[in-house]
Amino acid sequence: MSTRKKNILKVIILGDSGVGKTSLMHRYVNDKYSQQYKATIGADFLTKEVNIDSDKVATMQVWDTAGQERFQSLGVAFYRGADCCVLVYDVTNTKSFQNIKSWRDEFLVHANVSTPETFPFVLLGNKIDTDDSKKVVTNKAAQELAASLGNIPLFFTSAKTAINVDTAFQEIARSALQQNQNDADSFEDDFNDAINIQLDNDTNSCSC
Amino acid sequence: MLRARLRDTIDSPGIAAVLPIAESKRLILAKTDGNIEVYSREHTKFKLFQVYPNILQNLHIDDPRIKDLLYSDRLSTIFIQCKNVILLLNSYNLHVYDRVVDKRGISKCWILSTEISKAAPDSDDDEEGTYFHNIYNEEEPAVDTERDLGSDATRENSTSTFLLYSTAKQSKLRLLIWFERVYKSMTEITLPSSSEYVTSANATPNGIILTTNNAVYVWSYTLSELVRIRKIVKRKYPTDMVSAIGDLRGQCHISDPNRVGKSGSSSYNVLERVSSSQGSNLTKKSGFSGFWGRKGVEDERGYKKIRYSFNDRQSSTLIVDGMTESLFEINFENRNAPFLISNPHEQFFEWNSTFETIEYLSTDILMLYNSNLVKFVDYKNVLGTYLIIWTNNDRILLYHYQVDDEGSGLDDNADNSSNDNNSKDEVSICGRLHDSDFYYLWRKVLFYQFFLSSPYSIELCASPNQEESLDICAMKLRDFTVLWCLRIFDSLGRCLKIISSNYTKSAEIMNKNKINISKFDRKYIETLEEIIIKGVYTYFIEVWAPPQLVILNTFPKGISELVNTLTNENHECINENTNLSTSGVFSITPDLFKKWIFPYLTDTRRHLKNLQKTGNSGIMWNYYGRSIKQKFEFFLLDNHGQLKIDDMLRLVDTVLFKVYIKYVPSMVGPLIRVDNSCDQEIVVTTLKSHKMAQELVNFYFQHGQHQEALGYLVNLSHTTTDESNQEKLKSIVKVLVISYLRSMDSQYIVEIFHYTSWLLESYGYTDTDRDQILEDVFFNNKNVDVGKNGMKIYKFISKFREILSLTYLELCVSDDETYNESLLFQLITRYLTEIKNGLVRKKMRSLFELPLDYNPTKMFSILDGFLENDRDNDDNVLTIDIRHFLQVLETFALFKDGKHKESIDILYSGLGDYQKSKRYCDRLYNSNKEEGLKISIYLLDKIIDCYELELKEDHIDTVKELPSCHQILTFISDQGTKIDSMLLLGKLPKSLPVSLMKKELTNIIIAKQLAKEELDLKKSLLQVEIVNSTFKVNEQLSKFVTLNETYKCSICKKSFSTLTSEETKWYNTDDKDYMVHYNCGKVLQSRLFPDQVKYGDNSKGPTTVKDIRRA
């Protein structure tokens, strides 16, 4: 039955604490940015209608996570049905970049995705609005990492100045939709065709 | 399980109707003599509260005999049904305030109510609009009034109450509608057939469901008409695992080879039949005449007349239908064409065949009854914990039922109770079945689920410490659930084994007889298997099932053996105790393993890690509304050894590793790379046997076993004898070793050097090869701390490639992250050996110009030592150019050391280079103005000294010819504007003619004049700004507002007192002034911005009404 088919794209944002996951989500969904840092507790999500390639419409559910504690507070239900995972690092923080692989591995172990080899990941290098002198992760290193993770899409973004955020999320939506359709293809109708069960107690009854 | 105790009995002969009102704990009895008795329940006793004598006497009713009583809490109204009138009484004082008269006669009434969502998520707005318009079209303004109140809740969800009654001719119905508490409309409904009568009515948010003896209808709010539901579908697959296991058992029979070739009916003799609803027999009393005026039917198959609609806990609308022995769900996804989903329910009716009446008790339990017996079945819990029974001899019995809390009592109650009904119930439910343990467990699970989820669970609990008892119940439910799930899993294994065996036999027979096997539906069986596996493991995840038990009983043999191996415990007793048989026999398909079993392992691992992190101080387990702090013991089995968290984590991680190896090898890498507790020996052996070199190396790395990892990689190249493969393998090993060395940090620098040497020996055939290896290992290696190990690495590289070591130094020095002072000195020393090379000098120069951090004294001593030695690398005397070059470099070190005079001495006195001296002064002036001026004056003094000297020595006619005179003029031109003019003039030699300085001095005067004019202009501008600001301040100070008697506070809309001196707050928004009471302003401010008010932070608070509105 068509109603069983998912039309919600579940996207999970992961990365070290303070890399700008929440800001990216708010920038994309609400087009807002707050300078004030507030640590996320547990997980939170926002939704946005997305138009992909101008002919497909879906609801993207963007799940923001707390970067402080890696996965230990989030149960299997959180990851179930994820269609795309966004890995975020801060271009001014080497450690956050080095941890990207760990985030990916942790996600794969916890999310139990159907095809780990092809599951869509997107890499975002955030805070590119900062001075060049403060940037410690080179574009080349990021490109090498993206290539080593299976040529995953890479975007350099700034939630603060809205650089590349929409473009990145368009790609995220596209990847998620592709994954979602792969999963949806396995759905089938819930019900058989109409069956003949006689509810009429009085077979001689007449409506007139 | 539930124990009912008779608490009170009322003898009241001549009862015509009974109405219990749970909300007010009252019981209304209508008597045949027209009296109404009102009883009030205090604890467990009924007390006669009031008698209303012959209440209908003066109401001019043709036949005042009361037939039935109904109640609507929403309308606070009691409805009295008589022969052709329904009276509406105020429920507090039983005052008749209205009546519904129908001369056709009234045979049966229903009071229904439902919440109707105005903004249903999938609803069409227009349709909703139509709905409201249709059912409330008579008094539309009333709806608007409600809307005008501005309550979102009112707009979103509205409770509607319906009074439905059938006339004496039962196919004619009338429906009266109240919206909230306001009467809206009345409508007539006629059933299509004159012989049709309503068996039940049920209000849902989608419409009123009317079941009749012939059909099922929806009275649609949108259309205001009756729509017959004609379409009935059947699910392809069951929705729950109990039904699935029942169906699977059916498949065992279908696949029986003895049936092959026979054209059989679809009915089959199941091994063990189940139904999705089974009962819990609570109490039995003889002499019941039925409930609320219904008379018992003696026919054993009285259930055939049952067709009853109700809403379950998830608000699904269901119909229990005795005629078709089905349970129908109504699907409203398409509101205009609802359809029924049929679920076979024969077993339910077989078990409950003696009951002809069903009553849905409002919080989710179905009560079945006849003249002898009352039975509750599993649709949720009962309203309150009291049950009122009206017996044949007009006695009212009040029962209070509770759950016995004693630990063993909960278990023993069903088996050992003296009440013979329980034993009878066991027989009636399970007597025909082989697997009574299964049903026993299932009943326990269902019971505790409903008990814990009941809003009355506290009241139902007979224990003095109810909260603790409920926690124990949750734990019991967990234990029963685990055992029940294991039992289901066991049954699944047995069924699949039978089916597989039958299939093989059937295939042989069919091949022999050339018959097609159409009965065997592999896909169907696989789907059932998935439903069961999913259900079982979802429960395991919810209840945090003990890993040892789950792994032992549900995992493939090779993996389940790990429990004994890794815990050093013998668990054979588990299977003996639980009578499970499938351990190691039945293996789950890889696909199902991936989908449903991995999550159990990863989630269990997560809980154990959380426990480990908290030092086993406990983590919260939330289950059925209970939050219980659980420690590690929760994951252990009773009467087994003393495992520690680390041991259990080792078991779970190793099992996860093993199942990944078996089912998803691509997940081994991620697991190995994250922090894990896998058993090292098993992992290493397994990975080696599977030739998963990368994963093994990652595992070693994760555990800091670098020697083992590198040793393994080194030996890997010798593992093949095939020459072509050996070459290929060798090159792979090279890449892996380099990659590994790069990932090691500084503390393993010795190992890094050791294996790099090995690489150089094994692969360093040419200089290029060696360079490549050294570059790959050491260059741009972020894991090695160059600050501490840079020199060691440099020396190591030098040992093999001298040229490359220089590049290494240059690379380290040029990168901020790897910069190190000692490397810089080393680099300078290396450059000095090549000082003859012009390119090296250029590099040196640019290096000194960089703002590097180093010890200037040491740098100066290196350069000075080299100059003193006066010998280059070839032991030749240094050329004058090189000496000058090095002296200039020395000034960079002196500059850093703050020894500027020494620098000027070198540059001006030593090298006689005025331009370089001047540039030095400028550089210093730019970084430190004061020091820059001082050193400029020092330079001027030097020039003047030189001038004086030249003047004495040369005896020339005009000073103009002196070189130092020219330098003085140049100095005045360059630095004159920076230095104080008087000081400059004072310093200039008296012998220097003013005419010579004409141009330079004029330039100074002009520059000073321009600076002065700029200052004056700035001053004037600031004065203008002061005038403007003063004007604005005065303007604000002169503002006023007049508060007369008619002026009202914008917030409370009350006027200001003219007699007292009251404080006010003044806001300005949209260029308008608003005065509000001081307290009004403060209160509103504190509500809208509590934080700012609390912490006294007014900076971000609202300053105007506009701010408040915006907030």
Rounded Cα distance between B622 and B624, Å, is: 7
**Residue B233, both tokens:** 């579908």
Q: What is the pLDDT of residue A158?
A: 93
Whether residue B300 is predicted with pLDDT greater than 80 in this model: the reply is no
CB B583 within 8 A of CB B552: yes
Which residue of B lies nearest to A79 if distances are taken between CA atoms?
A: B599
Kindly report the length of chain B. 1111
Whether residue B822 is predicted with pLDDT greater than 60 in this model: the reply is yes
Q: What is the pLDDT of residue B298?
A: 45
Inter-chain residue contact A191 with B214, CB threshold 8 Å: no
Inter-chain residue contact A191 with B341, CB threshold 8 Å: yes
Q: Tell me the per-residue pLDDT of B456-467, one tens digit each, with 9 for 90 and over.
A: 777 777 777 888
Q: How many inter-chain contacts (A to B, CB under 8 Å) are there?
A: 103
Residues on chain A bordering chain B, Cβ-to-Cβ distance under 8 angstroms? 3, 71-73, 75-76, 80, 94, 98, 101-102, 104-106, 108-110, 112, 114, 116-117, 136, 188-202, 205-207
Whether residue A208 is predicted with pLDDT greater than 50 in this model: the reply is no
Whether residue B668 is predicted with pLDDT greater than 50 in this model: the reply is yes
Rounded Cα distance between B375 and B382, Å, is: 12
Which residue of A lies nearest to B333 if distances are taken between CA atoms?
A: A3
Average pLDDT over residues B12-22: 85
pLDDT confidence band for B171 (50 / 70 / 90): confident
Whether residue B1045 is predicted with pLDDT greater than 70 in this model: the reply is yes
pLDDT confidence band for B262 (50 / 70 / 90): very low
Q: Give yes or no for B523 touching A (CB within 8 A).
A: no
Q: Tell me the per-residue pLDDT of B193-218, one tens digit each, with 9 for 90 and over.
A: 888 889 889 888 888 999 998 889 98
Whether residue B618 is predicted with pLDDT greater than 80 in this model: the reply is yes
- The β-bridge partners of B626 are B623
Average pLDDT over residues B119-135: 42
CB B618 within 8 A of CB B544: no
**Residue B447, both tokens:** 């019971």
Q: What is the pLDDT of residue A93?
A: 93
Q: What is the pLDDT of residue B1022?
A: 95
Inter-chain residue contact B232 with A136, CB threshold 8 Å: no
For chain A, the maximum distance between any two Cα atoms, rounded to a whole number of angstroms, is: 91
Whether residue B3 is predicted with pLDDT greater than 80 in this model: the reply is no
Rounded Cα distance between A38 and A22, Å, is: 9
Whether residue A175 is predicted with pLDDT greater than 80 in this model: the reply is yes
More confident residue, B953 or B658: B658
When mean pLDDT is compared across B126-130, B791-795, B1004-1008, the lowest value belongs to B126-130
Q: What is the pLDDT of residue B1051?
A: 84
Element housing B208 (H / E): strand B207-212
Inter-chain residue contact A110 with B606, CB threshold 8 Å: yes
Q: What is the pLDDT of residue B504?
A: 76
b/e B1080-1102 (16+ beta carbons within 10 angstroms → b): bbeebbeebbeebbeeeeeeebb
Q: Strand ranges (DSSP E) for B959-1081?
A: 1064-1069, 1072-1077
**Residue B959, both tokens:** 């000073």
Question: Chain B residues with CB inside 8 Å of A190's CB?
Answer: 235-237
Q: What is the pLDDT of residue B78?
A: 92
Q: What is the pLDDT of residue B284?
A: 32
More confident residue, B325 or B582: B325
Rounded Cα distance between A202 and B252, Å, is: 37
Inter-chain residue contact A197 with B216, CB threshold 8 Å: no
Rounded Cα distance between A64 and B285, Å, is: 59
Q: What is the pLDDT of residue B340?
A: 86
Please tell me what DSSP assigns to residue A155. E
Whether residue B221 is predicted with pLDDT greater than 70 in this model: the reply is yes
**Nearest CA to CA, how far is B780 from chain A (Å)?**
11
**Nearest CA to CA, how far is B374 from chain A (Å)?**
27
**Nearest CA to CA, how far is B541 from chain A (Å)?**
9
Question: Chain A residues with CB inside 8 Å of B339's CB?
Answer: 194
Rounded Cα distance between B808 and B806, Å, is: 5
Mutation pick from A72, A100, A109, A187 vs chain B, by most beta carbons of B within 10 Å, is A109
Question: Which residue matches tokens 């105005």?
Answer: B118
Whether residue B652 is predicted with pLDDT greater than 90 in this model: the reply is yes
Whether residue A206 is predicted with pLDDT greater than 80 in this model: the reply is no
Whether residue A192 is predicted with pLDDT greater than 80 in this model: the reply is no
Average pLDDT over residues B922-927: 90
**Nearest CA to CA, how far is A132 from chain B (Å)?**
13
Q: Would you tell me how many other CB atoms lie within 10 Å of the CB of residue B867?
A: 16
**Nearest CA to CA, how far is B267 from chain A (Å)?**
16
Rounded Cα distance between B1081 and B1101, Å, is: 12
**Residue A63, both tokens:** 């799940």
Q: What is the pLDDT of residue B683?
A: 92
Question: Which residue matches tokens 């294996």?
Answer: B755
Inter-chain residue contact A76 with B541, CB threshold 8 Å: yes
Domain boundaries, chain A: 7-204
Inter-chain residue contact A191 with B216, CB threshold 8 Å: no
Q: Would you tell me how many other CB atoms lie within 10 Å of the CB of residue B771?
A: 18
Pairing of strands B68-72, B77-81: antiparallel
pLDDT confidence band for B1034 (50 / 70 / 90): very high
Residue A110 identity (one-letter amino acid): H
Across chain B, mean pLDDT equals: 78
Q: What is the pLDDT of residue B756?
A: 93
Please state the pTM of the whole predicted model. Answer: 0.68
Give me the DSSP letters along B564-628: HHHH----HHHHHHHT---TTT----HHHIIIIIHHHHHHHHHHHHHHHHTTSS-EEEEETTEEE
Pairing of strands B357-361, B279-284: unpaired
Mutation pick from B191, B214, B660 vs chain A, by most beta carbons of A within 10 Å, is B214
Beta-carbon contacts of residue B330 (< 8 Å; ≥ 6 apart): B204, B209, B216, B218, B229, B316, B317, B318, B319, B338, B339, B340, B341
**Residue B567, both tokens:** 């815990």
Q: Tell me the per-residue pLDDT of B347-368, one tens digit each, with 9 for 90 and over.
A: 677 767 777 777 765 445 666 7
Q: What is the pLDDT of residue B16?
A: 87
Q: What is the pLDDT of residue A142?
A: 93
Rounded Cα distance between B762 and B768, Å, is: 14
CB A129 within 8 A of CB A20: no
CATH of A7-204, one of 3.40.50.1100, 1.10.260.40, 3.40.50.300, 3.40.1400.10: 3.40.50.300
Inter-chain residue contact B193 with A206, CB threshold 8 Å: yes
Rounded Cα distance between B889 and B843, Å, is: 12
Shortest CA distance to B829 belongs to which of B865, B853, B881?
B865
Average pLDDT over residues A156-181: 90
Whether residue B286 is predicted with pLDDT greater than 60 in this model: the reply is no
Shortest CA distance to B823 belongs to which of B833, B808, B803, B834?
B808
Beta-carbon contacts of residue A206 (< 8 Å; ≥ 6 apart): B193
Rounded Cα distance between A7 and A184, Å, is: 9
